[in-house]
Amino acid sequence: MHRVPERRDNDISQSTKSFSVMSIWARLERQLELRRARMALLEMSDDQLKDIALSRADAHREAHRRLWD
């Protein structure tokens, strides 16, 4: 008869915690990168904004969006 190894609750909860912390960290990094990119729009010249089809008002609006938008 083949015996299945016992599963410990600690092992499961530890891997779940690790996954959860990594997911939160990855999401935070993504939000911060998005914030930096949005703020970079404010540093662009009008000609540069025009090249990417944005107006100064669009850049301002985008730069001031909330992180979760």
Residue range 23-60, pLDDT digits in tens: 998 999 999 999 999 999 999 999 999 999 999 999 99
- 69, 34 contact by CB (below 8 A): no
Q: 58-69: per-residue pLDDT in tens? A: 999 999 998 777
Report pTM: 0.62
CA dist 44 to 3, 17, 34, 39, Å?
65, 41, 16, 10
**Using CA atoms in the order 31, 33, 36, 37, what is the torsion angle rounded to 10 degrees?**
-100
